[in-house]
Amino acid sequence: MAAGPVVKKVLAAYSGKLRLVIKNYPYRYRDFSRIAAEASLAARDQGKYWEMHDILITRSPKLDRQNLIAYAQELGLDVKKFTAAIDAQKHKSEIDADIKLAESLDLYNTPTIFINGRKTVGERPFTYYKKIIDEELR
Amino acid sequence: MFKSSFAAIVIVALIAFPAFAGKLEPIGAVPIPASNPQTPEKIELGKKLFFDRRLSGDGTMSCATCHDPEMAFTDGLAISMSYPTTRNWRNSPTLVNVAFQKSLFHDGRVATLEEQALFPMMSAFEMNRNLDFVEEVIRSVPEYVESFKKVFGDTDITRQRIAMAIAAFERTLVSRAAPLDQYLKGDEQALSPDARKGYDIFTGKGKCAECHDGMLLADNKFHALNVPENLEQEKDPRVAATRRFVAKVSGYGDYRTLAEDPGRYLVTKDKGDWKAFRTPTLREISLTAPYMHNGIFATLDEVIEFFDQGGGKGNTALKPLGLTTGEKKQLKAFLVEGLTGAAVTFEYPKVP
Amino acid sequence: MKLRAMTLLCCILALSSIGFADEKRYDVPLGDSPSFGPHDAPVTLIEFIDFQ
C-alpha cells in the first residue's frame, strides 16, 4: 500500500523544500509486492523510476508479471531488458537491504514515512504530514 | 425509634456514596482473570499477533496500526485509521493501562479484553477479517502452531485463543510511578506547585474527579457531554455508511436515517444513553491527543475550555465552572505533569 | 534548601524526558535509494513503500 496521491500532494505543496526518498518494503504475503519493487528498480535502470513508481501505485493490484511488462511497454522502455531484469531479480540485493533496514527499524506497516527522522505509520491525511513538515521548516 | 431512623440514614449515606467517588487512586496490581493467566509465552504470542497484518483482510492493518506503541498505543488521529476504502467513525483510545478498565470501547459494549480483541478484527471498517478464515490463516503458520501448543496445551487455533493471547499482551501495558501516584502516596514534592494547585482544582472547583476518579481517573460510567460534532463526519459519505452499519448491527431500527453518533444508546437502547460515551481514563492524557470519542479537540486547552463552559449545547451533565486563566493553567499543569507514568518498556516482536 | 533544589532539578529533568512521541527521530540512512528533490532540501521524507 502506498500513500500515492497524498505524497504527491505533499511533494507539490513543498516543491523545492522537500526531498523524497523511496525504500522498498514489500510484504512477504502479497503476491506482487516483490516483483513490483523489482519493476520499479528495473525502470530506474532505464531512467524512468518515477513514471513506473506512479504507474505501480495507480494500477495496483494489477502488478503481475504480464501487466508489469505491459507498463514497461507503455513507458517506452526497452522491454527485453526490463523483462530480463525482473525475471532475474536483478535488484534482489537492494530490495533485501531495504527490507533488512525496515526490519531493523521494527516497521510493521506500509507506508511508513520518516520526515526528518520522525516516524509516521500508515496512510494518513495530507494535513497530518503538513503539520509535521511545517514544524520541520520552522 | 430515633435511633433506628438515624441508623437508617447512616446506612443510606454509606450506600449512596461509593467508597472512592471523587477520590483518585494510584495504579495498583493488574487484575488477571483466572480464565486467562499470564505466562511469558502467551504474552509473546499475543504481542506477535498484535503486530501481525495477517489479521486484516488485505494484510495492511494490525492492531498496532491504530494502537501504535510509539504514540501511547493510539494513532494520533481524530478519527482512527480505517480499512482501505472505508472510514472509521471514532477516535482510537489508548491501550496503556487498559487492563484496569471494566468496560471497553467508547460505548462500553464489552467488559473484557478477550471479548474486545475480536471486534476490530471482524469490523468491516477496521481490520475486516473473517474470523473463520483467520483461524485457518494462523493455522498455516508453523511457528504459530508451535506457540499455540506451548501456550494452550494443544495445537488448536481458535479465535478465542487468539484473543486470549492478545489480551495477555495488553495486560502488560501498564504505566507506573506517575507523579500523581507518588503524590497520592505522600510525596508532596512529586508535583510542582502549579500542578499541586491543579490537583486541588481537579478534585475541587473543577469537579473533574466527580467522573474522573479512582485508579484510572474514570468512573466507568457513560455521560452525554454533547461535544461538537466532527464536521468531516457530517460530510463524508463513507463515515455515514459506517455509522449506519454499526447502528444496523446493533439492532437500531432507524439506522437508515441516522445522522449522528448515538454512543452508548446503541448498546442499552436506553434513551438516557443517547450520545453518552464512556468516561475515558486521563492517565497518559498528554500523550493521547486528539480528545473525545470523535477526536474533536486537538489540545488539552480546548478540552479545559469545553468543560469550563459547561460542556456542549443542551447537555445536562455539566455546568460552567468559572475557572480563571491561572486556574486553567494550573489544571493543565496537573494533567500534563501528573498523569504520565514511566514509559511502557517495549520490544518489537518478530512476526512470523 | 538543598533537597528542594535537588527535587526541583529532578522535576525539570523528568519533564524534559517526557518527550512527545512524534518528536523522536530515527536515523535512516538514505543509501542509493531513488530520490526526488534537492539534495540539500530542509526536509527529507523517506517512504517505505509496498506497491501492492
Tell me, rounded to whole angstroms, the distance of Cα B81 from its chain centroid. 16
Q: What pLDDT does C23 receive?
A: 76
Q: Which residue of B has its CA nearest to A103?
A: B350
pLDDT in tens for each of the 352 residues of chain B? 555 566 555 555 555 444 456 899 999 999 999 999 999 999 999 999 999 999 999 888 999 999 999 999 999 999 999 998 899 999 999 999 999 999 999 999 999 999 999 999 999 999 999 999 999 999 999 999 999 999 999 999 999 999 999 999 999 999 999 999 999 999 999 999 999 999 999 999 999 999 999 999 999 999 999 999 988 777 889 999 999 999 999 999 999 999 999 999 999 999 999 999 999 999 999 999 999 999 999 999 999 999 999 999 999 999 999 999 999 999 999 999 999 999 888 899 999 9
Q: What pLDDT does B84 receive?
A: 87
Instruction: Please tell me the distance from the alpha carbon of residue A71 to that of residue A42, in angstroms, as a whole number.
Output: 12
CA of B345 to nearest chain A CA: how many angstroms apart? 15
Instruction: Please tell me the distance from the alpha carbon of residue A75 to that of residue A91, in angstroms, as a whole number.
Output: 20
**Residue-averaged pLDDT of chain A:** 94
Q: Which of C11, C15, C21 sits opposite B71 (nearest CB)?
A: C21
For residue B89, what is its C-alpha cell?
A: 467513525
User: Which residues on B lie below 8 Å from A128 (Cβ)?
Assistant: 76-77
Q: What pLDDT does B231 receive?
A: 83
Count of A-B CB contacts under 8 Å: 36
DSSP secondary structure, chain A, as one string: ---HHHHHHHHHHTTTTEEEEEEE---TTSTTHHHHHHHHHHHHHTT-HHHHHHHHHHHTT--SHHHHHHHHHHTT--HHHHHHHHHTTTTHHHHHHHHHHHHHTT--SSSEEEETTEEEES---HHHHHHHHHHHH-
Check which CATH number belongs to the domain holding A57 and give it: 3.40.30.10
Q: Give the model's confidence band at A29: pLDDT under 50 very low, under 70 low, under 90 confident, else very high.
A: confident
Contact by Cβ (8 Å): C50, A27:
yes
Buried b (16+ CB within 10 A) or exposed e, B24-44: beebeeeeeeeebebeeebbb
Residue range of the domain that includes A45: 4-10+29-137
Instruction: Please tell me the distance from the alpha carbon of residue C33 to that of residue C36, in angstroms, as a whole number.
Output: 10
Q: How many domains does chain A have?
A: 1
Q: Which site among B68, B83, B140 would you substitute to test the A interface, given the most A Cβ atoms closer than 10 Å to its Cβ?
A: B68
**Residue-averaged pLDDT of chain C:** 75
User: Which residues on C lie below 8 Å from A117 (Cβ)?
Assistant: 25-28
Q: Which site among A108, A113, A114, A132 would you substitute to test the B interface, given the most B Cβ atoms closer than 10 Å to its Cβ?
A: A108
User: Which residues on A lie below 8 Å from B62 (Cβ)?
Assistant: 108-109
- Write the ipTM: 0.94
User: Which residues on A lie below 8 Å from B77 (Cβ)?
Assistant: 124-125, 128
CA of B112 to nearest chain C CA: how many angstroms apart? 28
Test B189 with C18 for CB contact under 8 angstroms.
no
Q: Which residue of B has its CA nearest to A105?
A: B348
Q: Give domain status of residue A21, yes or no.
A: no
Angle, in degrees to the nearest 10, between helices A33-45 and A79-87:
140
Name the amino acid, one letter, at B235: K
Long-range contacts, B7-13 (Cβ 8 Å, 24+): none
pTM assigned to the model = 0.85
- Residue A126's CB is within 10 A of a number of other CB atoms, namely 15
- Per-residue pLDDT at C17 exceeds 50: no
Q: What pLDDT does C21 receive?
A: 44
Q: What pLDDT does B350 receive?
A: 93
> Bridge partners of C49?
A24
- Residue B292's CB is within 10 A of a number of other CB atoms, namely 21
User: Which residues on B lie below 8 Å from C22 (Cβ)?
Assistant: 71, 76
Q: Which of B51, B59, B65 sits opposite A27 (nearest CB)?
A: B59
Instruction: Please tell me the distance from the alpha carbon of residue B188 to that of residue B192, in angstroms, as a whole number.
Output: 9
Tell me, rounded to whole angstroms, the distance of Cα A43 from its chain centroid. 12
User: Which residues on C lie below 8 Å from B189 (Cβ)?
Assistant: 4, 7, 11
Q: Give domain status of residue A58, yes or no.
A: yes
Q: Give domain status of residue A100, yes or no.
A: yes
Instruction: Please tell me the distance from the alpha carbon of residue B293 to that of residue B227, in angstroms, as a whole number.
Output: 9
Q: Which residue of A has its CA nearest to B61?
A: A109
Q: Give domain status of residue A81, yes or no.
A: yes
Instruction: Please tell me the distance from the alpha carbon of residue B219 to that of residue B108, in angstroms, as a whole number.
Output: 12
Q: Give domain status of residue A23, yes or no.
A: no
Test A19 with C45 for CB contact under 8 angstroms.
yes
Q: Give domain status of residue A33, yes or no.
A: yes
CA of A27 to nearest chain C CA: how many angstroms apart? 7
Q: Give domain status of residue A37, yes or no.
A: yes
Residue A128 at interface with chain B, using a CB cutoff of 8 Å: yes
C 10-49 near A (Cβ less than 8 A): 22-39, 41-49
Q: Which residue of B has its CA nearest to A1?
A: B60
Q: What pLDDT does B182 receive?
A: 96
Q: Give domain status of residue A42, yes or no.
A: yes
